Amino acid sequence: MTVRKGKKLTISIQEHMAIDVCPGPIRPIKQISAYFPPTGGGGGGTLSAMSSMDTSIEIDSCDSDDSTSLGILEFDLLYERATSSLHCTVLRAKGLKPMDFNGLADPYVKLHLLPGACKANKLKTKIVRNTLNPVWNETLTYCGITEEDMYRKTLRVSVCDEDKLSHNEFIGESRVALRRLKPDQTKHYKICLEHPPPLPSPSAMSVALRGISCYLREIEQQRSLEERGRLLLSLHGLCVGVRRCAHLAAMDVNGFSDPYVKTYLKPDIHKKSKHKTAVIKKTLNPEFNEEFFYEISLSELSTKTLEVTVWDYDLGKSNDFIGGVSLGCHSQGDALRHWVECLKNKGKKVERWHTLTNELPGSTFHD
């Protein structure tokens, strides 16, 4: 560049661009997904859950230094169709990120089913002390998992460090879309742990994204209201077996419930058909294993409706209604199929899981 005496200093556009260039390494171009932050926090964000449906990463495809530094986790998944149960066998972890002053950690594994209430769906392994390469070989089981659940739910597997003096610390996680599993076939996973989805920045979200976020959050709330847990019932002619419940809604401030089950055979003119199980304290997955017998003929049974409700016991005040199911000729879905199977197979015990709902048609509840 040459400047003559007495003339104003000018710089061409090419020279300006050359001067303005920032030296340093070339930064990667952001993907489009980076401009759409997921909504909701760690456990149950709808967008984060949707975006992570198909992102469980096998070890062979894990090439990010940021994720490999958190460690590697091995586990097996098995869905048993006959028992409606999902088994997760947590095997081991390697190269976990140090979390304590001694350069080690006290790791354990937590499982959550998404979407779903956090307390009711949380399972955890034992804690292995002072290691970055823990071995658990522990099987955690979810009961009452239907094939519909397997299609729409995601399993969140996270590794945490237990800390007695403060809050437990998060190490890393992975998410597995359960629809990838084939029934009655064990699938082995060896995955790199990842950071949790980032929390949204309200200032960075456009009006459209905020609208989508609110819409999806509303859908998620509706789902959580519809499903209040699962109930395993067995019917054998006139004998009703209340086996167990799973994933019940938490009704107490401690995050649990004190559940018990009531059964009615309606219409009940003389109000003599009520039976109640024992109360199981502080649990969302109670086991009852109680049976009740109704002294009526099988022909009369076909005109009746069995109403089964689950309650939370409260000392000194009204008990809280958790959910219920109605079985009879006017029922729908699994409830109707269970009732018909019971009437057809008079000499056989028929078991089935039922989804508890907030309300039963035509019922008024009085404890």
Amino acid, single-letter form, for residue 71: G
Instruction: Return d(Cα 366, Cα 309) in angstroms, integer.
Output: 11
pLDDT for res 111: 93
pLDDT by residue, tens only, the chain of 367 residues:
555 555 555 655 555 444 444 454 555 554 544 445 454 444 444 434 343 444 444 444 454 444 447 999 999 999 999 888 999 999 999 999 998 888 899 999 999 988 776 566 788 999 999 999 999 999 999 988 888 889 888 999 999 999 887 788 899 999 999 998 999 999 999 999 988 776 555 555 555 555 555 555 555 544 444 567 889 999 887 889 999 998 888 888 888 899 999 998 888 777 788 899 999 999 989 999 999 988 877 777 778 889 999 999 988 788 899 989 988 888 888 888 888 888 787 778 888 898 888 766 556 555 6
pLDDT for res 286: 93
At 117, list the tokens.
Answer: 């209430």
Closest CA to 261 of 356, 192, 159: 356
Instruction: Return d(Cα 70, Cα 159) in angstroms, integer.
Output: 10
What the chain holds in terms of domains, given with CATH numbers, is 71-193 (2.60.40.150), 227-357 (2.60.40.150)
Side by side, the strands of the sheet bearing 154-161 are 123-124, 107-114, 154-161, 169-177
Q: What is the pTM of this model?
A: 0.61
Instruction: Return d(Cα 156, Cα 183) in angstroms, integer.
Output: 19
Q: Is 133 exposed, middle or buried (0-12, 13-18, 19+ CB in 10 A)?
A: middle
pLDDT for res 4: 54
pLDDT for res 336: 85
At 108, list the tokens.
Answer: 């354990």
> Which residue in this structure is represented by tokens 């048609």?
361
pLDDT for res 222: 47
Number of residues that this document lists for the chain: 367
